[in-house]
Structure 1
Amino acid sequence: MLFHGLHKLTWFPLMSGLLVLGLPAFAAAETTTSENDKTPETMVAALAEDENVEDVERSEPRADANSDAQPEPQPKTTAAQATPTKPASKVAPNIDLKEVAPAPEPTTPAQAPVTETAAQEDSEVRPGEETVTAAPVSTEPQPAKSFTLLDSEVLPGTSTRLAWSPGIQIAGLSQPTPVLVVNGAKAGPTLCLTGAIHGDELNGIEIIRRTMYDLDPEKLSGRVVGIPIVNLPGFQQGSRYLPDRRDLNRHFPGSPDGSLADRIAHSLFENIIRRCNMLVDIHTGSLKRTNLPQLRADMNNADVATFTQGFDRMAVVHSSGSPGMLRSAAVAAGITTVTMEAGESHRIQEHQIEAGVNSLTSLMERQGMISRMFVWGDPEPVYYDSDWIRAQHGGILFSEVELGARVSEGEILGYVADPITNAQFPIRSSSNGRIIGMAVDQVVMAGFAAYHIGTEAEVPGE
């Protein structure tokens, strides 16, 4: 129903009719941590992107298959046990997403948490869970049910555009954030895709657009909810941050009466995220850094570790995450979640986008949501250990290696040239591994994180 040719178009029609506000833009600042703070138990080294230095250095070490200590079980509930969900006030129109349409009207749904009962009515069993039933399980596909989201009922076998508004703006200037929903004709899990939580990360927007517009609701089992641009004010200003200079990805699950970032995070989490079984949060490297397509995942979580196996040709970097991240909050709420990193900010990169779309297609095929002839590539490694190599001198960085290159210990990765004294300082690899992230050539100061090297390790238990 939805054709592939749309990938030649831009994603800007999705945002047609939105008012651009004169909000201030703020530059990103790198979080740094002293190298002396590391301990032998630090299994994963510093990341300077979405998951910064402090986040990953505080990650839990990978689980030891020979250890008696077992990771604490993750909660399985998706919401508090309370009263049933408020019925939808309207039926969402069935829209062919490949057709250009005006921007949706804003809605202000009640911000009551979704109950476990309601979530079970609208979604199926989470991957890895078992159900106990007295009757034999039918092998025939079960028909889907209506899906209630943002005060709208999305009928089975339909696709639509909804609008989410966190209710934090001036009423007369409110800007709804588009939400794409495809509710399959057959029952299955609910997958959520979020992009541009950092407003300058463009690759994820296009990854979500192509993935959503390629779905046929008549052939889909389950539901896919796509939010291409979560941080709309930041996106309009080309800024990573919100207007209050906060990083939205440090405030989940949020609070209804906290800061601006807290309120936006709370609204998104309660009204959309809790309605899902699985979540892929898509990011890029931070300012002037780029990432090899990869997943950030807590590999100590059995459900998450299994989930990562559904992504074709995606390297996995172990990171347990930190409080405030969407991934951490969603996993704590029982939603199987990973972060996808692809490319660099402020750019649309075709190779990175294709890798992201391919991996999401393979994920939906693995989860039984779609049925396609899919050719799997060779599995990518899991990097339980990684390290950022830092410049020891200030100057201009010139790289000798490319993203994804395999390097050896002591190999020259690049050099820093002092434009005044003409001195040149080589930067060498600290280990054998692969370049999974790196800074683009630029002016750097001493201590700048320049190359991220992933070291392959055996998967625990193998």
Structure 2
Amino acid sequence: MSGRLRAAPGLDLDFVRFGDGGGPAVTVLGGVHGDEMEGVLAAYRVADLLASTPVRGTVTVLPRANPPALAAGTRHGDGDANLARLFPGDPGGGLSERIAHTIATALIDPCDLLIDLHSAGRRYRMPPMCGFGAGRTLGGRPLLDAARATPFPYLWAHASVAPGRSVSHADALGKPWAYFESGGGGALREADIDLYAQGVLRLLEVAGAAEPVSFAGPPPARQVVVTGGDGNTDTGVLFGSAGVFVSSVAAGDTVAAGQTIGAVYDDGGQCAEVVRADASGVVMMLRHDLRVTPGEVAAIIAGEDGRAA
């Protein structure tokens, strides 16, 4: 069933719903940020797969959660508002606040599981990963077990999340949640979109909301579980100088505290700053866009906790 939510005058959010409401309710979001097309395309792919998959509960897929930002091709929407910092929104606020309110009340409040599909966008790189609420359960099992059922090589367990995100709204309501990240750099990879679609179907299976679906290819040989931080991409190792950033590590690399992860060069070709890891762990996000300014995020590093699947 196709449906439409009126977020504001002249702005509708189009969704697709599967199932008859007889089991768990799951919401899948894509396109919260306008420069993250992986989630949009993966959400459409999930909808295509669900059209031929027996659904035991109700699965609602919203591929384009932030139409203004997607139309502009930018991370933020109206007035440079970050939709992922505005949940649960405000029905009397600005356009992005109204979008957040509509999604929160119509799709997150009634769901039993939230899956939000993101990516590193144009300015960063991330390894393929599934982030989730460490203290939540799904299908009677720890959410970590459900995350291990996905094909992602990196699993990020969050003990808490900063307010304003879709997943933090779900967390405040005591609901299980997960989000996916990958790629970035302004490029799309077919393998990432496939990972997202497979990951969603695996979580639906664990939740008891859909019948198992077979996918070609083996599961990842090793899954690395990382902890620490809340996945907030506005915090991490910060640049102290302006210039051009040259990285010396890649997203997904393991680094030691104090290790050089890159350098900033000024327009004269001189090194203005050596950027170092603020902790030991895995590089979960790394700056890709070469022009940087002080205060922008260079990298996010999360600690590996040794629970490799």
**TM-score interval for Structure 1 and Structure 2 normalised by the shorter chain:** 0.7 to 0.9
User: Do 1:183 and 1:217's aligned partners in 2 also have CA atoms closer than 8 Å?
Assistant: no
Q: How does 1:377-388 map to 2 (within 5 A)?
A: 377-378=220-221, 380-385=223-228, 388=236
CA distance 1:428–1:215, shift in 2 (3 Å):
same
Give the TM-score of the pair, scaled to structure 2: 0.82
CA distance 1:271–1:389, shift in 2 (3 Å):
closer
Runs of 4+ residues deviating >6 angstroms:
none
User: Do 1:439 and 1:451's aligned partners in 2 also have CA atoms closer than 8 Å?
Assistant: yes
Q: Give the aligned partner of residue 456 of structure 1.
A: 304
Match for 2:34 among 194, 199, 220? 199
Distance 2:135 2:39 in 1: 26
TM-aligned CA deviation for residue 193 of structure 1 = 0.5
Is structure 2 residue 149 aligned with structure 1 residue 309?
Answer: no
Q: Give the aligned partner of residue 262 of structure 1.
A: 97
SS, match of residue 29 in structure 2: strand
Q: Give the aligned partner of residue 417 of structure 1.
A: 265
Alignment coverage as a number of residue pairs: 294
Is structure 2 residue 188 aligned with structure 1 residue 348?
Answer: yes
CA distance 1:408–1:256, shift in 2 (3 Å):
closer
CA distance 1:366–1:287, shift in 2 (3 Å):
same
Deviations, residues 303-340 of structure 1 (Å, cap 9, x unaligned): 69822432322421425223332212222234322232
User: Do 2:226 and 2:282's aligned partners in 1 also have CA atoms closer than 8 Å?
Assistant: no
Note the residue ranges of structure 1 that are not aligned, 5 or more in a row: 1-159
Distance 1:454 1:218 in 2: 36
CA distance 1:181–1:303, shift in 2 (3 Å):
closer
Q: Give the aligned partner of residue 297 of structure 1.
A: 132
Q: Which has the larger radius of gyration?
A: 1
TM-aligned CA deviation for residue 343 of structure 1 = 2.7
Q: Give the aligned partner of residue 17 of structure 2.
A: 181
Match for 1:242 among 74, 77, 81? 77
Q: Give the aligned partner of residue 370 of structure 1.
A: 211
Aligned partner of 2:225: which letter?
A: V
Q: Give the aligned partner of residue 439 of structure 1.
A: 287
TM-aligned CA deviation for residue 224 of structure 1 = 1.6
TM-aligned CA deviation for residue 291 of structure 1 = 1.9
Aligned partner of 1:315: which letter?
A: L
Give the TM-score of the pair, scaled to structure 1: 0.57
Q: Give the aligned partner of residue 402 of structure 1.
A: 250
TM-aligned CA deviation for residue 279 of structure 1 = 0.7
Distance 1:196 1:255 in 2: 20
Q: Give the aligned partner of residue 8 of structure 1.
A: none
Aligned partner of 1:420: which letter?
A: G
